[in-house]
Amino acid sequence: MASTSRIFEYFVVCGLGPEIRALDGLKGFHGAEEMYMPAFIDQFPHSGHALYPPPPPQLPTCVLPAGVRIYSSRLDANDVSTYPRSYPIVLTEGDGSKIYVSCIAFRDPICEDIIEAYQIPVNSFADKCICFVSHSPCFQVLRDALEEIFVLCFSPAGCSKPLWDIISHVVSNVPLPTPGKDRVLFAIDNCLLSAETPPKEWLPHADISFQPLVQCLDVDKLIQLFTAVLLERRILLRSNKYTLLTLVSEAICHLIYPIRWQHVYIPIIFSSGVDYIDAPTPYMMGLHSGVDTSTVTMDGVVVVDLEYNRITTTEDIPPIPESEHSFLRGEILKLLQPNVVAIDYMKINLGSMGDYSLRTATKSWGQDHDFQLRLIFLRFFAQIMSGYRNFIDNALPTGFNAQAFLKKRSRATNQPVESMLMIMQFIETQGFLDYLERCNNAEEFTNNLLDKLQDATGRGQSPLAIFPSHVADPEIITIADSEIEGSEPGNRHCYKSFPANARTEEQEEKRKSILALVGGASKQVPSSPAVRISGGPKAESLSPRERAAERERMVLDIKVKLQRDYGFVF
């Protein structure tokens, strides 16, 4: 039977709330050319829900990172920029756990009471975002379910039940599948959806395609990005597509398995958060390529432009040692360009002699390719960390005898220790030290695929031997469709805008009081723009001690804002 945990923890609607303020903090409506702060509008269940903590307060600014714009028109079939956009985002909680959010952003009519209170032109529209929130990385299921709800809402045929009744049934009744044991089937109106997760003995669940990563970056750029992430540099991804920023961030985090990214992780930062790029701590962040970064220094930041296959940085990234680099590059090329790699091979059936990755030559990119790419990187770790278990020493402060490990590698490869800069930096990272700590926790680390792979390789076995040879067919768990009291067969529910959820009496009173205050107040006079905190006297007018103090103040300010806006604890 499936677990009691649920796939869908919350359904949330974000957009223009009753308290309108511009991105620079000014309250009120200041024209359609201004961008406004997004807010929570609706959610199910309400925050008093017992199973899960409420959605993080920064969710609205994360799902609408550019802010909310006001428009005079809705969707224009001839203008792609007006189309709804579907994209995932990932948030990181203070304890390092991730929250996965599937989003659809679209233009929706502004509520009449808000239009009246703020004297916004009638028939105006604003950005709105509907979201499914989950702690499970079921990206595809979250997206499929959300898109079906969106289509039901705006389809001329409507839906068979009130939309929020359908939403509440899905959120309340669809369980999270037990890994490798069962498959959950559920329906949204007449659309049948399914969800399952891989066995615990497999690679960690990654319900994404790795194809966008390998399409955006060539092999050498991919390895360069991988190395920078492994060495915990400051990484800034740029793209004009939110989906790419999230998928590439998630993909690279899976490729460094069994190492875990231990630092700031914001696949999509909101447009007004550009100052975060100056954060002194390692981070992985994504920023829309349309956002100006001329106000930040970028010193030491590894900037990855996904649209142009370009990586720039002011600091050198030490290369992976030649033998492991050659293996990694060759295996990736075999997977990505099998017809070129195998062009000299005899065109006869050699049966089991054929390489697994070469046998995917005629297939379009799919889950087999995702699995093979992840296995290539795991095999890389098995090589570069060869024999590491012999040097775990809990008597040392780090728990690892790095000098002895490097000397052993030097003898084995006939390379001087001084040439191993990349490995020297890697074994000093927080990610590597975290891995060693988990190795000591037998209960948490029972399925150590790296150790299994190193042992299998030592016995001359195939890398595939570390995975279960047979996986039983999953048990099918069907979630019955909801029966809504009072619904009549043939009665359809149609909507011209995304409907509001039934508000509590307290929520309704609060909304009315906010709008009444706005309606009774005169239009605010805009104050002068706020001075950037990171500003101050010009650097050349400061003494070295003053410059150091200014830098320390800037660092503290960025850390405070990261903690306030994203919940990161330093």
Q: What is the mean pLDDT of the chain?
A: 87
Q: Residue-wise over 531-550: b if at least 16 C-beta within 10 A, else e?
A: eeebeeeeeeeeeeeeeeee
Instruction: Give CA–CA dist 517/513, Å, rounded.
Output: 6
Residues 6+ apart with CB under 8 A from 562: 264, 276, 279, 568, 570
User: What tens digit of pLDDT does each residue of 195-243 get?
Assistant: 998 888 899 999 999 999 999 999 999 999 999 999 999 999 999 999 9
The predicted structure's pLDDT at residue 528: 40
| CA atoms lying within 13 Å on the CB side of residue 275 | 16
pLDDT at residue 331 greater than cutoff 70: yes
What distance lies between CA 40 and its chain's CA centroid? 20
pLDDT at residue 569 greater than cutoff 60: no
Instruction: Give CA–CA dist 22/523, Å, rounded.
Output: 14
Instruction: Give CA–CA dist 115/29, Å, rounded.
Output: 10
* Range in 258-262, 391-395, 458-462, 541-545 with the lowest mean pLDDT: 541-545
pLDDT at residue 350 greater than cutoff 70: no
* Range in 331-335, 464-468, 516-520 with the lowest mean pLDDT: 516-520
The predicted structure's pLDDT at residue 518: 84
The predicted structure's pLDDT at residue 440: 82
The predicted structure's pLDDT at residue 542: 64
Residues 330-350, mean pLDDT to the nearest whole number: 77
Q: What's the DSSP call for residue 265?
A: E
Helix boundaries (H) for 463-543: 505-520
Strand partners, 42: 13
What percent of the chain has a predicted confidence (pLDDT) above 70?
A: 84
Residues 483-502, mean pLDDT to the nearest whole number: 78
Q: Please, where in the chain does CATH 3.40.50.11500 lie? A: 210-312
The predicted structure's pLDDT at residue 364: 87
The predicted structure's pLDDT at residue 43: 93
pLDDT band at 75 (very low <50, low <70, confident <90, very high): confident
Maximum alpha-carbon separation in the chain: 83
User: What tens digit of pLDDT does each residue of 515-559 get?
Assistant: 988 877 644 444 444 333 334 444 455 665 666 566 566 666 666
**Is the preceding peptide bond at 258 cis, omega within 30 degrees of 0?**
yes
pLDDT at residue 355 greater than cutoff 70: no
Tokens 């890697």 belong to residue: 426
User: What tens digit of pLDDT does each residue of 134-151 get?
Assistant: 999 999 999 999 999 999
**Other CB atoms within 10 A of residue 2 CB:** 20
The predicted structure's pLDDT at residue 2: 45
More confident residue, 352 or 305: 305
User: What tens digit of pLDDT does each residue of 401-435 get?
Assistant: 999 999 999 999 888 888 899 999 999 999 999 99
Q: Provide φ and ψ at 313, rounded to 5°.
A: -160, 150
Instruction: Give CA–CA dist 64/129, Å, rounded.
Output: 7
The predicted structure's pLDDT at residue 558: 65
pTM: 0.86
| CATH of region 210-312 | 3.40.50.11500
Q: What's the DSSP call for residue 345?
A: S
* Range in 119-133, 145-159, 465-479 with the lowest mean pLDDT: 465-479
Residues 37-65, mean pLDDT to the nearest whole number: 88
- CA-based radius of gyration for the chain: 26
pLDDT band at 508 (very low <50, low <70, confident <90, very high): confident
Q: For the purposes of burial, counting CB atoms within 10 Å of the CB of 174, is it exposed (0-12), middle (13-18) or buried (19 or more)?
A: buried
What percent of the chain has a predicted confidence (pLDDT) above 90?
A: 64
The predicted structure's pLDDT at residue 1: 41
